[in-house]
Amino acid sequence: MSHPPEGKRVLITVRTYPTPARKGVEVSCTAGVTDQGAWIRLFPVPYRLMDPDKRFKKYQWIELSARRATGDPRPESYTPDIDSIRIKQGISTKDNWAERKQSVLPLVSHCLCCLERQRNETGVPTLGLFKPNEIKRLVVEPDEPRWTSAQLARLRQYPLFAATPSRELEKIPFKFKYEFHCDHWDCAGHSLSCTDWEICQSYRSWSRKYRDDWEGKLREKYEHEMIELNETHFYVGTLRGHPAAWIIVGLFYPRVGARPQEPRDGAQAHVREGGDREACR
């Protein structure tokens, strides 16, 4: 059953690196916060195939029409009407991300362990944001260097009258993961894939610019700075086909310094020193 269209105003906070699409050519998972303070997932978004005036950036407000997704049990999921997108103002990193903090930190959860438990018990949420208690390391693993023949076939089946990207989608020949511990008294540690567009784009740029030294540059920003210099939070989401599996879909990383805004009513308070049994019950 098709759901009626709804008008949405969304602050885009997440955009993943594109992948070959089962339907269409290529898609990117996009997520954000509505002006009502709720998570929303927009899928599919064929970003590189969209008209230039529809290609929003992260931390820009957009207005659009979207329908609750059919066949996707995740309640935050909506199917966007791409042609309806209107890009509005963006919010900057000024004053150590002050305006961005006002928009997203009210939705912060205590930890991934809490998100997992809540989703397993109630089916929601399937999107979240939290600050890990300790990031152990960034893992860089080799991946298949080329698309499969089936994936290439998808990427090359452009609609007859649609715009086409100037270059075919590049395969990232590495997987990126973060190993970390939650601020949960019983956390055994986590290892989550990171599909954020930004880290993949950094690899594409720096592997050309720095050649054999790209990994050192990547680790400087996404390991050293994320661990030592930033108040790093992870945007996370579940997979449609594997509802109990979580991945990192984006990074939120103001510099260490300013005190984070307290979570709004109903969100779990973050405790820095050791796991908090009360918050995790």
Report the pLDDT value the prediction gives residue 164, as an integer from 0 to 100: 75
Sheet holding 134-142, edge to edge: 134-142, 174-181, 190-193
Distance in Å from the first CA to the final CA of the chain: 38
Sign of CA dihedral 202, 203, 207, 212: positive
Domain that holds residue 127: 96-280
Q: Quick one: 153 and 113 in the same domain?
A: yes
Q: Determine, yes or no, domain membership for 196.
A: yes
pLDDT at 91: 97
Whole-number pLDDT of residue 266 = 41
Indicate whether 164 belongs to any domain. yes
Question: Quick one: 215 and 138 in the same domain?
Answer: yes
- pLDDT score of 1: 67
One domain for residues 258 and 226: yes
175, part of any domain: yes
Instruction: Kindly report the CATH number assigned to the domain that includes residue 63.
Output: 2.40.50.730
Look at residues 73, 94, 115 and tell me which one is the last residue of a structural domain: 94
Residues 130 and 157 in one domain: yes
User: What are the 10-residue block averages of pLDDT along the chain, 281 residues in total?
Assistant: 92 97 87 98 94 96 97 95 98 97 97 97 97 98 96 84 80 98 95 98 98 98 98 97 95 81 42 44 47
- Cα gap 100→127, rounded to integer Å: 18
| pTM listed for this prediction | 0.91
Q: What is the pLDDT at residue 158?
A: 73
Under a CB-based contact definition with an 8 Å cutoff, are residues 99 and 92 in contact? yes
Tens digit of pLDDT for each residue in 152-175? 999 988 766 666 777 899 999 999
Say if residue 38 is in the same domain as residue 140. Answer: no
| Domain end marker among 94, 127, 162 | 94
pLDDT tens digits along 266-279: 443 333 334 454 45
Nearest one of 189, 191, 151 to 170, comparing CA atoms:
151
Same domain, 170 and 241: yes
User: Could you tell me if residue 25 is inside a domain?
Assistant: yes
Q: Are residues 102 and 57 in the same domain?
A: no
